[in-house]
Amino acid sequence: MEFSEVIRTRRSVRWYLDKAVPMEMIHRILEEASASPSFMNSQPWEVSVVTGESLAKIIHLYDTDKEYVVPIPWPQEWPERQTMLVAKNREASGKRVLPESGRGRWNYNAPVIVYLHIHKNLNEWSIFDLGAFAQSTMLAAVNHGLSSVPQARLVMHDTKIREILGLGQDRKLILGITLGYADWDHPNNQIKSQRDNPENWIATHN
């Protein structure tokens, strides 16, 4: 696939087919994503690939424990431009069709969650690096015929998820990315996000 096609094809997919993803493909995607740049080449990413029984445990946790912990707080006040964009996002998310519980509710029926985590001593630079790593992962996924959605929601049980994954207290979960084969006929996947006009955010200086 042409690179420009890959970058334009990636979008958050919010319903997946009941079709397993080969583990070798996930490892290949992650290895490709590790070509991402990082602060002093510190490569802060560590990844837990979750499927099967472990995925079922995490979904059960979300079904039964509603005491969410937000590891990175929301902005206290959105700036003006973001207020408008976030409002549009809320309107679109209100149209999603989701079951009350289970994998469909929390994980849009995806068979895989890839958890990205860093050592707790690392700071914003490493979270920046994880952003680059996450995007590379999602683009590599497209190139291998898969779809994804990055999900802050999937790290909102930090301590209990770390217990399920056997991660120590020195690890900090940053993001969960669902991976799978898109169900393109599902109504959730008919909703496509829009982008702000570049005139609103590019300034040129000669």
> Quick one: which of 118, 150, 173, 182 contacts ligand FMN (CB under 6 A)?
150
**Binding segment toward ligand FMN, per CB under 6 A, in 78-86, 97-105, 119-127, 149-157:** 149-157
Q: Considering the complex, state which of residue 48 and residue 107 has its C-beta at the smaller distance from ligand FMN.
A: 107
Per-residue binding string, ligand FMN, 99-138, x by CB under 6 A, is ----------------------------------------
Q: Considering the complex, state which of residue 23 and residue 184 has its C-beta at the smaller distance from ligand FMN.
A: 184
CA distance 64 to 79: 35
The residue whose two tokens read 């630079």 is 125
Per-residue binding string, ligand FMN, 77-96, x by CB under 6 A, is ------------x-------
Shortest Cβ distance from residue 124 to ligand FMN (Å)? 14
Q: Considering the complex, state which of residue 163 and residue 196 has its C-beta at the smaller distance from ligand FMN.
A: 196
Please report, as a single letter, which amino acid is at residue 29: I
Q: What is the DSSP string of 125-163?
A: HHHHHHHHHHHHHHHHHHHTT-EEEEEGGGGTTHHHHHH
Contact 111, 51 (CB under 8 A): yes
Q: Check residue 12 for interaction with ligand FMN (CB under 6 A).
A: yes
Beta carbons within 8 Å of 132's beta carbon, 6+ residues apart: 36, 37, 38
Q: What ranges make up the beta strands (E) of the chain? A: 46-50, 112-119, 147-151, 171-180
> Quick one: which of 11, 57, 60, 105 contacts ligand FMN (CB under 6 A)?
11
CA dihedral 117, 119, 125, 130 (to 10 degrees): -20
Task: Assign 180 to helix, strand or coil.
Answer: strand
Q: Check residue 9 for interaction with ligand FMN (CB under 6 A).
A: no
**Binding segment toward ligand FMN, per CB under 6 A, in 1-9, 76-84, 98-106, 147-155:** 147-155
Q: Please give the residue ranges that form the binding site for ligand FMN (CB under 6 A).
A: 11-12, 14, 89, 149-153, 175, 193
